[in-house]
A and B are shown apart, each in its own frame.
Chain A
C-alpha cells in the first residue's frame, strides 16, 4: 500500500530515527574517524549514559535529556582519563593497532559486567511526560518519544561541528590525525589534543544514552546491537567528517523507515548496508570524506 500519508510519515519517522543514530555515532566519528582509535566500546559508554539517566530519573524524576546534558562534563573527564590509559599503554609504545583494539574489546566487556553488578540485568526505562504523546500536524504524526531525541541530537551535532570548525582546539583535533608533526610545529600538544577529543567523544555518549533510553528499554549488553550500524554510519559519512556522519545517519534512518513501511522491516538493515557498499564502491572515502 502506497499513500501520500504513509510516505511523508515514513520520511518524518526516518528523519527522527536518523537524528537519534547521529547522536550515537557522532562520538565514534571523532574517535574512529578523526583520532583513528577503534573505540568498539563506544556503544557501551552510551549504555552507561542510559543507566545514569535511568537512576536519576527513577530517583528524582528529572527529565532524561537534562540528565544527559548535565552528565556530559563528567563523561568528558572519563574520556580524557581513558585516553591517558590508552596512550600510556599502547599508543606511546606503538602497539595501538591490534592491542588497542583488544583493549577496547576488553573495556566493553568490563563495563558491561560493572553495569550488571551496579544496576542488575533487568530491562530499564525512564519516565517523562512526553513519552507516549504525539504531535499531530495535518497528516503528519510525530511521536515526541522520537522527536525530542532527534532535536537534541541535531543540536548536539551543530554544537560539535561549530566547536570543530570555529575553535583552535577543534581545528587541532581535525588536524591531529592528518599531520601530527605539523600540529606540533604549530605549538599544539597532540597528546593533549587527542585527550580532549576522546573526552568530547565520550561526553556525547552521555546524551546519546539518555536519548536511547527514552526510545527503548535498556539492559547492559544492548549496546552490542549498535556496533555494526554506527560503524557503518561513520564510514558512510566519510571518516573524520562530523557533518558527514550526521547526514549518513539521516540517510540510513530514512531508508530504514521507508523500507520498513513499504516493503518489510526485515529488509531495512540489509538495504542500509547495501547503500554503504554501493557508496564505498563509487566513492571509497564515503559521502563527505576527503580523498
Chain B
C-alpha cells in the first residue's frame, strides 16, 4: 500500500532535490567550463625564496576566495607556475612555456625587479596585461602601457622610494648637513641609493661617503667602520637581508653616531630577522609597506593576514606576512576585479580599465599612474621603537614600527637623533 504519509515524504524529497539542483546548476555549469589559467614564475628556491613562497601562499588564498565566489567570468581559476630559482635567466623560458605550451589566459609576474625585467619582452610581444610584484622602476626601460606594479613606490619610483626619508630628515632641527650612502651591489639597492643620491644633492647635503659593497659579503664590519669614520649626519643604506643584518649589528658593535640610520634595508621587515636583532633595531628609520599600526587597518587586511598566518605555519616562511603577502593578494585582486568589470579577457580593455579605476584592495585604495606605478607614493618610513629582546610576538602588534611618513597614514613622530 502506498500511504499518504509516504507519498508526502517522497514529494518533499523530490522538491528538495529539484531546488538543490536549481541552486547548484550555475556552479555545476561553471565547474564544467574550462578553468581560467593564470601563469607566473616564482622564486621558490634561491635567495628570494622566502619572499616568493610567502607570495605564493597569499596568491593561493586569493584563488580560493575567488573560486568560492564562482571564479572569474564563471570559470574556476587555476594557477600554472614554475620555480625560477631566483635566477633571472630562467624567467624568459618559463614565460614562453606558459604562453605557448600551457596556453595560460593571464600572466602575472614573479617577485622582485631582477625576475620581472626578463619576462617583459615576452609578455609585451603578446600584448598581455602584466601585473607585477615589487619591481623597482622596471617600466622605465620598457614604457609598456599594460604594465602595472603593485609596490607603492610612486610615480617616479627611484626617487619616490627614498623621498620620505629625506623629507623627514630635512624637517629636523638642526638640519643635517652630511650624508653617507651605501649600496649592496645589486639592481634594487643600486636604484634605491641612486634616488637617495639625487635627493641629497637636491637638498644640498654634502656626501661624505658613497660606496657599494659586493652582494652577499659575509662581514661588513670594515664597511661600517669606514662609514663611522666619515662622521655623517645621515646614513642611507640600500641592502639585502644578509647585508642589512650585518650592518645593523656592526652599527651597534662600533657605536655608530649618525642622526638617522636606515633607508632602504631589505630584511628588517621580516619577523625572524626582527626577533634576532631585537633592541639593536631601536631608532632605525627604514622603508616598509605595511605594519600593524591603526592607520593602516584597511578593510579586509586583517582577515587576509589571519588566513595567511594560518597558511604559513610550518612552511618556513615569514610567520606574520606583513611585508609582501598583502600586496601579492592585492595585485591579483586588481586583475580579478578588472577582468570581472570588463567581462572578457580582452587585454586592451582590461589595461584601459585598470588605468582609469581606483581599486579597493586589502592594501587600501590603489590608483595607477600612466607608467603603471602607483599614482602617488605610499612607501612608508617607519621607526623601530621600544623593541624588546627575543620576542617575535611584539612585531605583530602596534607600537614597534611607528609610521613617520607619509602623513596620510602617519602614526607617530620621529625620535631624532638616532639612539641605539
Contact = CB atoms under 8 A, between A and B. Distances in A.
A216 B270 contact: no
Contact of A17 (B52, B211, B218, B390): B218
A227 to B, nearest CB: 11
Contact of A264 (B211, B270, B273, B318): B211
Interface in B194-228: 211-223, 225-226
Interface stretch (B160-168, B246-254, B364-372, B400-408): B246-254
Contacts of B250: 143
Contacts of B273: 123, 125, 217
Nearest to A24: B218
Contacts, number: 149
Given A132-B252, A219-B47, A266-B213, A122 B272 contact: yes
A44 interface: no
B53 interface: yes
Interface string B127-147: 000000000000000000000
Contacts of A125: 245, 272-273, 276
Given A134-B254, A215-B219, A219-B50, A121 B317 contact: yes
Contact of B214 (A9, A126, A127, A269): A269
A126 B222 CA distance: 22
B185 A123 contact: no
Contacts of B390: 127
A106 interface: no
B292 interface: no
Nearest to A132: B252
A108 interface: no
Interface extent on B, as a size class? 35 or more
Contacts of B242: 123, 216-217, 222
A120 B225 contact: no
B392 to A, nearest CB: 11
B50 A121 contact: yes
A141 B214 CA distance: 23
User: Per DSSP, are chain A's interface residues mostly helix, strand or loop, or mixed?
Assistant: helix
A82 to B, nearest CB: 22
B280 interface: yes
Given A1-B229, A122-B272, A125-B273, A265 B223 contact: yes
Given A121-B50, A266-B212, A217 B222 contact: no
A113 interface: yes
A110 B121 CA distance: 32
B323 to A, nearest CB: 12
A108 B122 CA distance: 32
Nearest to A133: B253
A177 to B, nearest CB: 29
A145 B49 contact: no
Interface in A137-175: 141, 143, 145-146
A116 B45 contact: yes
Contact of A257 (B46, B86, B222, B230): B222
Contact of A20 (B46, B219, B223, B317): B219
B212 A10 contact: no
B174 interface: no
Contact of A266 (B52, B214, B225, B254): B214
A119 interface: yes
A44 to B, nearest CB: 13
Interface in A2-48: 3, 6, 9-10, 13-14, 16-17, 20
Contacts of B270: 122-123
A223 to B, nearest CB: 11
A124 B273 CA distance: 7
Nearest to A141: B254
Could you say which of B270, B272, B315 has the most chain A C-beta atoms within 10 Å of its C-beta?
A: B272
A59 to B, nearest CB: 14
A212 B218 CA distance: 8
Contact of A112 (B45, B217, B220, B222): B45
A196 interface: no
B419 to A, nearest CB: 16
Given A121-B316, A127-B276, A266 B267 contact: no
B241 interface: yes
Interface in B33-62: 44-47, 49-50, 52-53
- CB-based closest 9 A-B pairs: A120-B316, A121-B49, A265-B213, A125-B276, A260-B222, A143-B253, A225-B216, A257-B222, A266-B212
Interface of A: 1, 3, 6, 9-10, 13-14, 16-17, 20, 112-113, 116, 119-127, 131-134, 141, 143, 145-146, 212, 215-217, 219-222, 225-226, 256-258, 260-262, 264-266, 268-269
27 contacts: A1-B226, A1-B229, A3-B229, A10-B225, A14-B222, A17-B218, A122-B318, A123-B242, A123-B267, A123-B270, A123-B272, A132-B252, A132-B280, A141-B253, A141-B254, A146-B219, A216-B218, A216-B242, A219-B50, A220-B45, A221-B47, A222-B242, A226-B218, A260-B222, A262-B226, A265-B211, A265-B217
Given A116-B316, A125-B276, 14 more contacts: A16-B219, A120-B53, A121-B44, A121-B45, A123-B50, A123-B267, A143-B254, A215-B218, A217-B276, A221-B46, A260-B220, A265-B217, A266-B214, A268-B217
